Amino acid sequence: MSKPIFFDEESEVLHSQVPHSKDCKVKLSFNLDFDIGQSYVTAKIQDRDGNIRKLNIQAGTRGIKLQSDLIRLKSGQDYPPFVYVQTTLKDSRIFVRKLPIQGLSDWLLIFEEDLLLLAVKGQYEELEILG
C-alpha cells in the first residue's frame, strides 16, 4: 500500500487524529456541487430524509457552525468541541482541518480559507465531517 500524499503538513499531522466513524458523535459525508459567490461558496446537500440543506464555506476565523437538524445526537449527548473536515482532492492529495464548533446555525457554515480556495478551483467534490 502506498503512503498517502497530503495537501500540506497540517493535513498530514491531523490525518492520524481523525476518529473512526464508529467513535464519532458527528458524522456527515456528502457530495457537493458548488455555486461560487464573491467571497464564499455554497452547495445544496441532501440529508438522509431527502431534505435539501445548505452548506456555506467562506474565509474567516477557522471554525464551523453546525446545522442541528443535520446531526442527530443521542439523548444526553453534547456536541464535541471540534470536528475534523476532510476531503480527497482531485489530484489524490488528502486535505484535513480541525475546526472548533462555534455553535449552531440555519445553514452548515464552515470558515476555512484553504477549503474555500480549493472549492473555488473545483479541486474536490466530496466532504466528510467527523467529530
| pLDDT at res. 32 | 93
Q: What is the pLDDT at residue 49?
A: 83
- The full set of domain ranges for the chain reads 9-130
E strands, 1-131, are: 27-31, 34-36, 40-46, 52-58, 63-66, 82-88, 94-104, 108-111, 126-130
* Nine cell digits for residue 10: 497540517
3-state helix, strand, coil in the chain (%, to 5): 15, 40, 45
Q: Kindly give the confidence (pLDDT) of every residue in the chain, 131 residues in length, as a single tens digit, with 9 standing for 90 and above.
A: 678 899 999 999 999 999 998 889 999 999 999 999 989 999 999 877 888 999 999 999 999 999 988 887 777 888 999 999 999 999 999 999 999 999 999 999 999 999 999 999 999 999 999 99
> Residue 35's beta-bridge partner residues?
42
CB 126 within 8 A of CB 88: yes
Specify the pLDDT at position 13: 97
